[in-house]
Structure 1
Amino acid sequence: MTTVIDSPASLVTEAHLRQFQEKGFFVLEGVIPAAHLEMMRTACGNLIDQIDERADEAGRPRTTKYFFSVWDEPQGANPVKDIAREQIRQFVFSDLMAEITRSLLGDDVYLSYEQFVVKAAEKGGTFAWHQDSAYVPAKHDPYLTCWCTLDDVTEENGTVYMLPYDRAGTRDLVPHTKLEDDFDLVGYRGDDPGDAVIAPAGSIALFSSHVLHRSGPNTTPRRRRIYLPQYSSAPLLDSAGKPFYIAEPFLKDGRRVG
């Protein structure tokens, strides 16, 4: 089954497209529907509860930086994730995301990756300067990261900072090194602090996988929650030619699939 999307992309303006081309990113404030925002918050909370319970049962300390996906386990392996995945599908394959991704990627779009990124209250740590493409092992075209805010994001609670192409001095993928005692990759060690994304809950920061970005610590008494779907114009493959993570078709010839 295919669905034709008749209306032009009204959210993404010519000014947005120019900024994306020139700087590599832009922000759409408050565009996530309230029902989808609440659904993602609920799914996020249920999965964090499961992660914390497993850590407690194993006698491990609870993490301060949560990374978790809803697509990384097969159907039936984790009932909590099964429910969350069906909920999240409503957002990642929504009319809103069809408009946005078609505007920036063209008529063929795949869901290629997704995860929640949550910083614990008062102690959620930083993320070093990196490009998302550095984490994909095989050569690929730049893809689209959709940094969806489930909370208001501020400098105090660890928002993301973008380094525009002109200040980074490149649009290309740069060499990265691994931080000691962490899995973070680092692609920039300069002095530019970047441009902070200050936005209300329900916003989406859209940026190319070649844009250098970082985030600060969460010093507030509340969690900072982000949902991060990533889309590409062709499947992202690993070094063996297999899908790196997800390669689920979303748009084909401008029509929504599924």
Structure 2
Amino acid sequence: MLSQKQREFYETNGYLKVEQVVTPSELDELQAVTDQLIDESRQVTQSNEVYDLDRGHAPQDPRLTRIKLPHKRHAIYDRILKQSKVTEVLTDLLGPNTFLNTSKLNTKAPGGGAAVEWHQDWAFYPATNDSLLAFGLMLRDVTPDNGPLLVIPGSHKGPVLSHHASGVFCGAVNPEDPQFERDKAVTLTGRAGDMTVHHVRTLHGSAPNVSDRARQILFYECASADAWPLLGASSYIHSLGQRMFWEDLQDRMITGTPCLQPRLAQVPVRMPLPPAPDNSSIFKTQESGGAKSAFA
């Protein structure tokens, strides 16, 4: 799927954009299912296991920050991950054995949909090696004014910056950190059907949606099967116990088979502890943890 030039660009810069990675019919189905899920949120009055609500959410004006675990809400999201060109890109970059860390459909509402402060995914879930990445499949056109993904090229080869504030993990870097080189940021816009890829250590964030159009991006966070999570990372898996963890791991396999010999690499790690008062989502972690905004 990917050319050698694309692979080298990803290796050097820690991000990549792949154009039209889904077919028109796949995109139509993704859009229709997403619209239906958003419409069903009209009856929801507080965040739950499916929806994270944004400020101002109401039956007449559904406003969401995200739909949680979309691959469990409808088969189309799971199929796109496992049986499409998205799958080909995944194996090109991570090899034949891969699993899903999590999925989410970030649905920034028009007119101020919530920002995601600058962070590295690695700060949330470090592992035995950093062969992890995130896909961002654009379900609608993404333009400079509706909260596109921003990345800092090459930051995946640098340090893990502090994501702490006032003694707790706040899930965001301090915009005044001298190692945070915001002036190097690249804006990733595109058409519906395009997909971004960013390495787990790449610094990234997204501004509020100030347009009159929703920004819908389907995110898959994936890992090589030999990248085992470290104890203390912010993941539900630590509460499962050994047997349930094994069953859950098999359920999250995307391609190939589980690996029982984790690869240990010399990678920088900062643990996301102690947790923020509310760490139920990145939005709550950043808000309750006292993260300082880079978009204020």
Output the TM-score relative to the length of structure 1.
0.76
State how far apart, in whole Å, the 2-side matches of 1:169 and 1:97 are.
22
Change (3 A) 1:53 1:186: farther
> Superposed, which structure 2 residues align to 1:88-237 within 5 Å?
88-136=77-125, 140-165=129-154, 168=155, 170-177=157-164, 184-186=171-173, 189=176, 190=180, 191-192=182-183, 194-234=185-225, 237=229
Match of 2:65 in 1: 66
Amino acid at match of 1:239: L
| Identical pairs, percent | 21
State how far apart, in whole Å, the 1-side matches of 2:71 and 2:220 are.
13
Match of 1:251 in 2: 255
State how far apart, in whole Å, the 2-side matches of 1:169 and 1:209 are.
7
Amino acid at match of 1:147: G
Amino acid at match of 1:221: D
State how far apart, in whole Å, the 2-side matches of 1:169 and 1:227 are.
22
Change (3 A) 1:240 1:123: closer
Match of 1:5 in 2: none
State how far apart, in whole Å, the 2-side matches of 1:88 and 1:203 are.
15
Amino acid at match of 1:230: E
Match of 1:8 in 2: none
Unpaired runs of 5+ in structure 1?
1-10, 74-80, 254-258
Q: In structure 1, the residue corresponding to 2:37 is in which secondary structure?
A: helix
From 20, 25, 28, the counterpart of 2:15:
25
Change (3 A) 1:238 1:52: farther
Alignment pair present for 1:47 and 2:37: yes
Amino acid at match of 2:172: L
State how far apart, in whole Å, the 2-side matches of 1:129 and 1:70 are.
22
Contact 2:71 2:103 in 1 (8 A): no
Deviation at 1:125, TM superposition (A): 2.5
Unpaired runs of 5+ in structure 2?
49-54, 239-244, 258-296
Amino acid at match of 1:68: I
Change (3 A) 1:240 1:186: closer
CA RMSD of aligned residues (A): 3.2
> What CA deviation, in whole Å up to 9, does each residue of 1:66-123 have, x standing for no partner?
12223697xxxxxxx3xx2x22122111131221111100121112210000110111
> What CA deviation, in whole Å up to 9, does each residue of 1:151-199 have, x standing for no partner?
111111110111011xx484343321259xxx65226544425001121
Contact 1:237 1:243 in 2 (8 A): no
Contact 1:64 1:125 in 2 (8 A): no
Amino acid at match of 1:124: G
Q: In structure 2, the residue corresponding to 1:192 is in which secondary structure?
A: helix
Q: In structure 1, the residue corresponding to 2:118 is in which secondary structure?
A: strand
Change (3 A) 1:178 1:46: farther
Change (3 A) 1:72 1:107: closer
Amino acid at match of 1:177: H
Change (3 A) 1:109 1:27: same
State how far apart, in whole Å, the 2-side matches of 1:18 and 1:137 are.
24
Amino acid at match of 2:204: H
Deviation at 1:22, TM superposition (A): 0.7
Output the TM-score relative to the length of structure 2.
0.67
State how far apart, in whole Å, the 2-side matches of 1:132 and 1:209 are.
5
Instruction: Give 1 or 2: higher strand fraction.
Output: 1
